[in-house]
Amino acid sequence: MLLRPLEMAQEMVRGAVESGETVVDATLGNGNDALFLAKLVGEQGKVLGFDVQQEAVDASCSKLAEAGFSGDAFQFNCVGHELLGEFTEGPLAAVMFNLGYLPRADKAVITTAETTLPALEQALSLLRVKGVLTVMCYPGHEGGGAEAEAVLQWASHLARDEARVMRYGMLNAPNCPPFLVAVEKVK
């Protein structure tokens, strides 16, 4: 059975992260990735999160609290992911990006290449060896295609002796389907 791109991202992260480690949800959204990450690292670990919309930060905090995680297990910031390096110390086991816009919110507020590319650079520099960075790209919305292309260009130019890079997604789906770009830090 084939996995959807987001499911594949979770499988890659699950294989890289151990309990007690520090991980990042670079685009909190509704808190689904943050909760997934919190379950992996447990109460001894730390989930750091970023989103420009307070609504997303609040929803993510609520989601983790409802799941029984204390405030010590996570730190969510209402700032753009391009500031990730100012709030985060390495080494990180995983960083997850879910680009685009917050579902059921203002679709004019989107991630862009101008903020995403610096965030990706910072995230990669903070990853530990064998750490994983996943980027869910959504080229089907206005602005999404340009951002997805920029992510592909960035990833394709990473040095092979420093990172393993892959792209995963549906080839025969209509309407510019989402796809995953995944990076494993080699050294």
157-164 LR contacts (CB < 8 Å, sep 24+): 158/124, 158/183, 161/186, 161/187, 162/186, 162/187, 163/124
Which residues are within 8 A (CB) of 26 and not within 5 positions of it... i.e. 6 or more apart? 49, 50, 81, 84, 95, 96, 97, 119, 123
Query: Mind listing the pLDDT tens digit for each residue in 57-109?
Result: 999 999 999 999 987 889 999 999 999 999 998 899 999 999 998 787 777 78
Query: Mind listing the pLDDT tens digit for each residue in 39-63?
Result: 999 999 999 999 999 999 999 999 9
> How far apart (Å, rounded) are the C-alpha atoms in residues 48 and 37?
10
pTM summary value = 0.96
**What is the mean predicted confidence (pLDDT) over 6-31?**
97
Residue 137 token pair: 């790209």
Query: What per-residue confidence (pLDDT) applies to 1?
Result: 86
